[in-house]
Amino acid sequence: MNLQQYLIRRLLLIIPTFLGITLITFMVIQLSPGNPAAMKLRTGEQGMMGDEMTREIVEGTKRLYGLDKPIWIRYGIWLKRVVTFDFGTSYKDHRPVMEKIAERLPITIELNLISIFLVYLLAIPVGVYSAVEQGTIRDKVMTVILFILYSLPNFWVAVLLIMFLGGGDFLDWFPIYGISSPGMEGAVFLSRLWDHLWHLMLPVFCLTYGGLAGLSRFMRAGMLEVIRQDYIRTARAKGLPEKLVIFKHAMRNSIIPIITLMGYLLPGMLGGSIIIESIFSIPGMGQLSFEAVLSRDYPVVMAIATISALLTLVGILISDLLYVWADPRITYEAEA
């Protein structure tokens, strides 16, 4: 079985999986208690409605949202539209769902990309270092620091940073809300970029430091595994310099599992951090999904769920391909 056949098989498998995922999601969301039509009416309570009137209005709103049809027909209609990438309009403001997502996706992806990149950039050397220094006092100090970082809740750190570095009472080093300063629209590109990056500093820090601990432990474990192997001993016995042994022979092999993890990060790109986004007033995906679920905005929830499902499926496929590419001992036959 060659790569092409394998790919075609895997891509065809995505179709039934995708159908299953969306069907279950659709049912779970629509059958969970809470009714968007009744919730809309609630906002105008203390009025002068009679019982009959209330019922009529809720029914009318259901018709307006297309919620009066049986659920399997609704799923059919939804699926037919989704095939053409039409996710319908939001109940909240009647704007096309795709437009709302497109508005918020760039900043979320940007934040995630920067923080994932930083996590990897820092975690790999930290992991390698503590593996090489295993058992020394330096390794222990590093471990303690990482665990402390790991256990600090990021909303707490965010608020402290804002209090102490965000002007007002103490140091005024960083802007503390949004992703750019007002009135920057007309500025030159470079200063606009600088202003934007300056705004991202604190949120990126809050999103990064926690992940750093997890990944560097992972790297350390992988590295320790490899260092015990015979070929490392052989390399050292040949008299190779220690740097070469560690970075060429050991690190390349222990990095494989970490690389393959990257495939699974793809769907995570879509979901913003609700907490960090609301603290720093960043209009990203986290806020959007959270509000949509709370207000039972079915079209928005379904669109986000569908896109993450697709990304997850693609991510798993990429992971599998990366495995084969990184480790010659794994072949497509073994998978089949």
Cβ-based nearer residue to another protein, 94 or 228: 94
How many positions of this chain bind another protein (CB under 8 A)? 58
Exposure string over 19-36, b if 16+ CB within 10 A, otherwise e: eebbeebbeebbeeeebb
For 254, residues 6+ apart whose C-beta sits below 8 A from its C-beta are 219, 222, 223, 225, 226
Cα 202 to Cα 212: distance, rounded to the nearest angstrom: 16
Which x/- pattern, by CB under 8 A, does the window 138-177 give for another protein? Answer: ---------------------x--xx--xxxx--x---xx
Q: Please report, for residues 179, 192, 227, the alpha-carbon distance to residue 188 in angstroms, rounded to integers and kept in the order given.
A: 17, 6, 51
Judged by CB under 8 A, the residue of 14, 21, 29, 39 near another protein is 39
* Interface positions, 172-201, toward another protein (CB under 8 A): 172, 176-178, 180, 182
| Amino acid letter, 129 | Y
Cβ-based nearer residue to another protein, 45 or 230: 45
The label of the residue with tokens 């279950």 reads 24
Give me 257's structure tokens: 């599992």
Cα 104 to Cα 281: distance, rounded to the nearest angstrom: 12
Considering the complex, what minimum distance in angstroms separates the CB of residue 115 from another protein?
Answer: 19
Judged by CB under 8 A, the residue of 27, 28, 60, 156 near another protein is 60
* Interface positions, 246-275, toward another protein (CB under 8 A): none
Cβ-based nearer residue to another protein, 128 or 202: 202
Considering the complex, what minimum distance in angstroms separates the CB of residue 266 from another protein?
Answer: 25
Per rule CB under 8 A, is residue 31 in the interface with another protein?
no
Cα 69 to Cα 180: distance, rounded to the nearest angstrom: 45
Per rule CB under 8 A, is residue 287 in the interface with another protein?
yes
Per rule CB under 8 A, is residue 300 in the interface with another protein?
no
For 141, residues 6+ apart whose C-beta sits below 8 A from its C-beta are none
Query: Which of these segments, 57-65, 187-195, 237-245, 257-265, binds another protein (CB under 8 A)?
Result: 57-65
Which x/- pattern, by CB under 8 A, does the window 200-219 give for another protein? Answer: --------------------
Per rule CB under 8 A, is residue 230 in the interface with another protein?
no
Considering the complex, what minimum distance in angstroms separates the CB of residue 58 from another protein?
Answer: 7
Cα 333 to Cα 336: distance, rounded to the nearest angstrom: 5
Give me 54's structure tokens: 């209330």
Cβ-based nearer residue to another protein, 182 or 328: 182
Give me 37's structure tokens: 């039509």
Cβ-based nearer residue to another protein, 49 or 98: 49
Considering the complex, what minimum distance in angstroms separates the CB of residue 174 from another protein?
Answer: 11
Per rule CB under 8 A, is residue 224 in the interface with another protein?
no
- Residue 178 near residue 193 (C-beta atoms within 8 A): no
Q: Please report, for residues 32, 135, 244, 245, 251, the alpha-carbon distance to residue 241 in angstroms, rounded to integers and kept in the order given.
A: 63, 22, 5, 6, 14
Phi, psi angle pair for 172, to nearest 5°: -115, 75
Please report how the helices 285-294 and 97-132 are oriented relative to each other, as an axis angle in degrees rounded to 10: 120
Judged by CB under 8 A, the residue of 2, 16, 31, 43 near another protein is 43
Which x/- pattern, by CB under 8 A, does the window 70-109 give for another protein? Answer: -------------------x-xxxxx-------xx-----
Cβ-based nearer residue to another protein, 100 or 217: 100
Burial (Cβ within 10 Å: 0-12, 13-18, ≥19) of residue 220: buried
Binding site for another protein (CB under 8 A): 33-35, 37-55, 57-58, 60-61, 64, 89, 91-95, 103-104, 159, 162-163, 166-169, 172, 176-178, 180, 182, 278-283, 287, 294-296
